[in-house]
Structure formats: structure tokens, C-alpha cells
Structure 1
Amino acid sequence: MHEQPQRLLIIDDDEMFCHVMQRAMTRRGFEVEVANDAEQALILANRLQPEIATLDLKLEHSSGLKLLPELLDAVPACRVVVLTGYSSIATAVEAIKLGAVNYLCKPADADEILAALDKQDGDPNTELADNPPSINRVTWEHIQKVLQEHDGNISATARALGMHRRTLQRKLQKRPVRR
């Protein structure tokens, strides 16, 4: 009896990442479709009914956190890993609360994504970091948390943080601070 390949939906606005990941996952036996925006992702999800999906946290015109519940409404059994180059504790917690099975920082390769999809339970033996995050990292994560609380509204976030909107925009354009 011939087993059907698992269906994978890659949702990311980085076309090069999508191309590389699609090739890698196809070589591993997956049936792969790619969506570069939220609208296309929902159309493909309804048609394909993927068993698994990767979802970029920061899409060009949308947020992966906003798309995640819609994706899971369309395909409730889909296991989703959220990927991001802008990781923060706040977004990781929200992604898991909204139904993601895991959360990975970019760059992530196909093997790391598959391992994240397969990991069903937490690991109590995970090592704790020896050094606490820098004050800049804590500040960056606080900004991300407040931004999340204000549904991505830059002006409302700036008011809540007591800073000028343009200052906040400049801070958000920078890569996250290293731990």
C-alpha cells in the first residue's frame, strides 16, 4: 500500500527562504505548497488541508500571530511552527497560546523545523542560560510585549512607552539585540 506524502504549507514573504525550504522538504518526501501572504495562505490551506505548516511571524502586510488562529480554523489538525527573525518571549508565548506547536528563531533549516514539529512535549532538562539577557535585550522584549498588547499599533505603543513614535519606529527597524 502506497502512503500519501504529508502536506506542508510554507507561509513566508521571503521568497528565497521559501524556495530553499520547498526544495529541502520536497527532497524529504513532503508535498509542499508556498504562500507569500496571509490571503494566499488561507486559500492554499483550505484547498490543501496541510498536516503541517511553517508560519513567518512577520509577513509583509500582516502578522503571523493574526493569521495563526485563522489558519487553525481552516485546518484544525494542522501542526504549525512559527518562525521569526524577530524573536521575543512575548511573541513566543502568544504563538503557543494561539495554537502553534513550536516557535523557532531564524535562520532555521529543514531538520530543525522537522524536529520542532515532532517535539510534542516540553523538556524539563533544557539547560538554563548562564548569563541573563542584556538590558538592551530586556528593553527590546518589553517593547515587543507592549506592541503586542496594542495589536501592533505603533502610535498607541509609543504613547504607552512614553516615547516619540518615530523613535519607536527606528527601534523596531533594527534587528533584535543579542542576548
Structure 2
Amino acid sequence: MSEQSGTDSVVEGNLLIVDDDRPFQQRLARAMEKRGFTTVTADSVREALEAIQAEAPDYAVVDMRLEDGSGLDVVEAIRTRKPDARVVILTGYGNIATAVTAVKLGAVDYLAKPADADDVLAALLSEGEEKAPPPENPMSADRVRWEHIQRVYELCDRNVSETARRLNMHRRTLQRILAKRAPR
């Protein structure tokens, strides 16, 4: 993660960082403090909700999947307390449906992990008119398909038969896909 700011501007405001990947969370907090933010960190939905009750943040970076729930619950709580807060969702499990839900709940952007601090800053401060540049290494179509299958599999509590039914796929075909490594 880049710790040097690509811009000379210093930002003021409090930033809530919610991520259960502690090393990433701490690196991002340090990098964002160097850019002028006052940071508060949380490892879980519960801790994030407590932090929001204590003081609603001006900005937030929220991991999509947390040990005790969904980052979308945190986004919703921030929007309730401070409607003009700027929230960016981070995830290692990107999919279109979740991105749409995050934006509908008020997130200003959706970034894949591990995100660079400069990318997070740009997303938090963007006005929305400018389009983000395309990713340097986008996921292949096979990888996107594999990620979608994995997500549905997890949502079905790792039940192969139910997952196959929901994906309209033969159970044995699904088992073969699940046994393979993720495509690049």
C-alpha cells in the first residue's frame, strides 16, 4: 500500500475505517492520518456501530464482509446518523449486485482489496462526475464467474445441492468447479 500522498492537498475530517484485516486496517489508518484525517478504527459491525453512535464520521471506509455481519449495515447506520458522509466500500469479493446495493445505500464508490491509500483518498473525495480509470489487472470472465459461484455457495451455507439449484446447474458440474482452484 502506498503511504505517500500523490497530491499536496491535506484533508480535514474524521474517518472511520472498518475492516477485520487488522494489518491492512492499521496501514490504511496510518496512511490516511498522513493525509490529514483523524481516524477511528473498528474490527466488526458491532464496534463500528458503537463508534458511529459516539460520533458520526465525515468519511468512512468499510469492508464488505466482516466477522459479525455485512458492511452494508455499517453504511446504513452512517447514512442514518450523517446523510452527507462519504463512504467507500472495500471488498475482496466483488460482484455487481453488492455494488449496486452499496451505492443505493449511499456509498460513493466500491473498491477491490487490497486498495491503495491514494485510490481510497481519490474515491472519498471524488465528485462523482469523473469516471475512475479502469483497473490495471481486471478479473477475467472466468474469475468473475468463479467468484459468483463461490458467493452463492457461501450464501447457501455451503450446500452444494441448493447452490446448484439456484445457479440452474447440475450438481456434479458444480462439484467439479468447486474442487478446482480459482482462475486468474
Amino acid at match of 2:64: L
CA RMSD of aligned residues (A): 3.6
- Does residue 139 of the first structure (1) align with residue 145 of the second (2)? yes
- 1:90–1:144 CA contact under 8 A, matched in 2: no
Stretches of structure 2 that go unaligned for 5 or more consecutive residues are 1-10
- 1:35–1:41 CA contact under 8 A, matched in 2: yes
- 1:58–1:64 CA contact under 8 A, matched in 2: yes
Q: Partner residue of 2:33?
A: 26
Q: How does 1:3-152 map to 2 (within 5 A)?
A: 5-123=12-130, 133-134=140-141, 136-140=142-146, 142-143=148-149, 147=152, 152=155
- How many residue pairs end up in the alignment? 167
Q: Which of 94-103 and 34-43 deviates more?
A: 94-103
CA distance in structure 1 between the aligned counterparts of 2:92 and 2:128, rounded to whole angstroms = 24
CA distance in structure 1 between the aligned counterparts of 2:18 and 2:132, rounded to whole angstroms = 31
- Does residue 160 of the first structure (1) align with residue 166 of the second (2)? yes
CA distance in structure 1 between the aligned counterparts of 2:118 and 2:88, rounded to whole angstroms = 13
State the identity %: 41
What per-residue deviation string (whole Å, max 9, x for no partner) do you get for residues 65-94 of structure 1?
233222321332211000111222222222
CA distance in structure 1 between the aligned counterparts of 2:132 and 2:76, rounded to whole angstroms = 30
Return closer, same or farther for 1:126/1:25 CA change in 2, 3 Å cut-off.
closer
How far has the Cα of 1:25 moved from its partner? 1.3
Return closer, same or farther for 1:25/1:153 CA change in 2, 3 Å cut-off.
same
CA distance in structure 2 between the aligned counterparts of 1:98 and 1:41, rounded to whole angstroms = 16
- Output the TM-score relative to the length of structure 1: 0.75
- Name the SS for the 2:107 alignment partner: coil
- Output the TM-score relative to the length of structure 2: 0.73
CA distance in structure 1 between the aligned counterparts of 2:132 and 2:45, rounded to whole angstroms = 36
Q: Which of 136-145 and 86-95 deviates more?
A: 136-145
What per-residue deviation string (whole Å, max 9, x for no partner) do you get for residues 97-128 of structure 1?
22100011111122110101111224469669
- 2:90–2:113 CA contact under 8 A, matched in 1: yes
Return closer, same or farther for 1:143/1:65 CA change in 2, 3 Å cut-off.
farther
CA distance in structure 1 between the aligned counterparts of 2:95 and 2:120, rounded to whole angstroms = 18
